[in-house]
Structures are given as C-alpha cells and as structure tokens.
Amino acid sequence: MASTGGGGLPSASQSAASYEFVRAPRTLGAMVASTVGYRSEGAVPQLHRGLPAPYLTLIFSLDGPVVGGESPEHARGADAYREEIVVGGLRQRPAYILQPDREAGVQLAVHPLAARALFGMPARELTQTAGPGAAVLGRAAVEIHERMCELGGWQERFGLLTAYLRGRAEDRGRRAEVRPEVAEAWRWMARRRGAGSLDAMARHVALSRRQLTTLFQREVGAGPKQISRLMRFETAKQQVTSAVAGGAPPDLSAIAAQCGFYDHSHLVRDFRQYTGLSPSGWIGEERRNIQAGGHRNGEE
C-alpha cells in the first residue's frame, strides 16, 4: 500500500528503506482500473491516509494484516480492523492505515459498477470502512490468498488473482449487469473527469436529476454529484502528484482551472474534505511516497 511520511528530508534510516511498486497489465478491462503490487522494507512505521477515490478497494496483504481505522485513534486502538483481505466501498473521508517497517501485497482499484460481478453485490452494500474481504468473497478468496503468499513473483500473483476474479465475473454473467442509464451516465462523467453538470448528464441519459440520483444511490451508495466530485478530485490529485514526482511545485490555480474547479479556493476546500489537509500539507506528508511511485493507483 502507499506509504506516507512527514515533510522535510528523510533521515538516514528512512534513506535506507526500499520501496517497490509494480503495476499489472489491465487484463480485466473496465472492471479494474489498476492492480499494483507493493513491497517495502526498512521503512519507519507511520500512519498513512487512504484517500477517497471513485473506485472500490480490494487488497490482498501478503505480509501480515492491514491494520487501520476511521481516525488515527481508531487505527491505533484495540478495536482497529485487522484484515489480510480487505474490501472497501466508496468513501468521502480518508481512512487511516498503520504501516509497519515492512509490508507487501496487491491492491486493486475496482470499478464500482463491477461490484456485482466481482463481489456478488452492488457497491452500495459494501461498507465505506475497510471491511473483511473474506466475508464478502468467501473461502475461495482465502485459498487464493494463501497461494499468492506462496508464490515468489508479481506476475504469477497477478495471473492467479486475475484468473480468480475473471472466473467470478463469468459465473455471474448477465446477473451482474447494471441499469444501462447508470452505466452510460458513469461513462459520460468519466470522459469529462467529473467536470460535467448533473443537468447535462441527466439529459444525456433521458432521465430527471432525481431519477438519476435515485438509481445511483441504489447501485453505488452515492449520487452522481458525489461521484463527479470524486472524479474531479482524483484528476487534480494526479496532476499534483505528477508535478511533485517531477520535482516541480504544483501550480494549484492552473490545476483548479484545468480540472473544472471554480477557483483555487474550491480546490483547497475539496482537498481538505478528502485528505483532512491543505494541498501543501498533504504534499509535505506524502512527498517521499509520491517520489517512490506509491500514488499510481488509478486509471492512467
């Protein structure tokens, strides 16, 4: 999983840490936006903010459970969740993950409209917290997890996991289809990266705003306006991280204009909602992780 740290230069112990992020080919089509294998060793244990995104989260941890919560206190407390297979729904606030000195796993960004095919239920039925994936996926997923732990290479792990998920989708077939108006509205939003208006989207699929919102709530647990905001934030975050990874300070005013925000202040407000920090505060916390490649977890 992506790791985070404080601002400033890394200490000697942090400099000695090793990070690996391996991106798998997109072999599951539109169902999965990205599949990333991650591994770190020698890192300073820290608290990571898992940010909201227009995707569901699926994690197979290969080196101990994922430990986290809905707040820093929850993540550090006795009642924190501890899962080796994690499934998480759409979120509007960050989650908090305790990252140890070493970890490894595979993290997938799953399209919410693929939840019926891959998880056997609509996305609205998935908790917004990082829930127990074994309870959602069943015994077969536990067996796949055990086999992934035994394999030594990323490509073998990716291949095993892809075959398992494709089999689940094929077993459900037409039962996993969603309303065509919802699927087309999602494509309409995605083409505009969340910058289009709700009225225009509703006209495009020949529904009223209220009808479209109701269908989205029933399917994914969030309205199209919320999804548009997540898409817009995801695009802005990608531009910010690209600038930081390239060693340049991000031009937040230009990014706001390019991504459909009203102005710089609008972008800052959304960053505060989705990260709990200002853009500069988040960059300072995430700089080393961004430079290591740990934020390439969405569609390219």
Give the Cα separation of 234 and 198 in Å (integer).
18
Give 216-258 pLDDT, tens digit per residue: 999 999 999 999 999 999 999 999 999 998 888 899 999 999 9
Rg of the chain's alpha carbons, rounded to an integer? 19
**Which pLDDT belongs to residue 265?**
95
For residue 220, give the H/E element and its range: helix 209-220
pLDDT band at 175 (very low <50, low <70, confident <90, very high): confident
CA 180 to chain centre: 24
Contact 161, 146 (CB under 8 A): no
Bigger pLDDT: 291 vs 109: 109
pLDDT band at 161 (very low <50, low <70, confident <90, very high): very high
- What mean pLDDT is reported for the chain? 89
Give 96-125 pLDDT, tens digit per residue: 999 999 999 999 999 999 999 999 999 999
Average pLDDT over residues 273-292: 86
Q: Which pTM does this prediction carry?
A: 0.89
User: Which amino acid is residue 61, in one-letter code?
Assistant: S
**Residues composing the chain:** 300
Compute the C-alpha angle 229/276/21, nearest 5°.
Answer: 80
Contact 105, 1 (CB under 8 A): yes
Contacts with 167 (C-beta within 8 Å, 6 or more apart), sequence order: none
Asked if pLDDT for residue 13 goes beyond 50, the answer is no
Give 41-93 pLDDT, tens digit per residue: 998 898 989 999 999 999 999 999 999 999 999 999 999 999 999 999 999 99
Asked if pLDDT for residue 2 goes beyond 70, the answer is no
**Which pLDDT belongs to residue 43?**
86
The domains found in the chain, sorted by start residue, are: 12-176 (2.60.120.10)
Compute the C-alpha angle 52/198/251, nearest 5°.
Answer: 50
Asked if pLDDT for residue 6 goes beyond 80, the answer is no
CA 204 to chain centre: 28
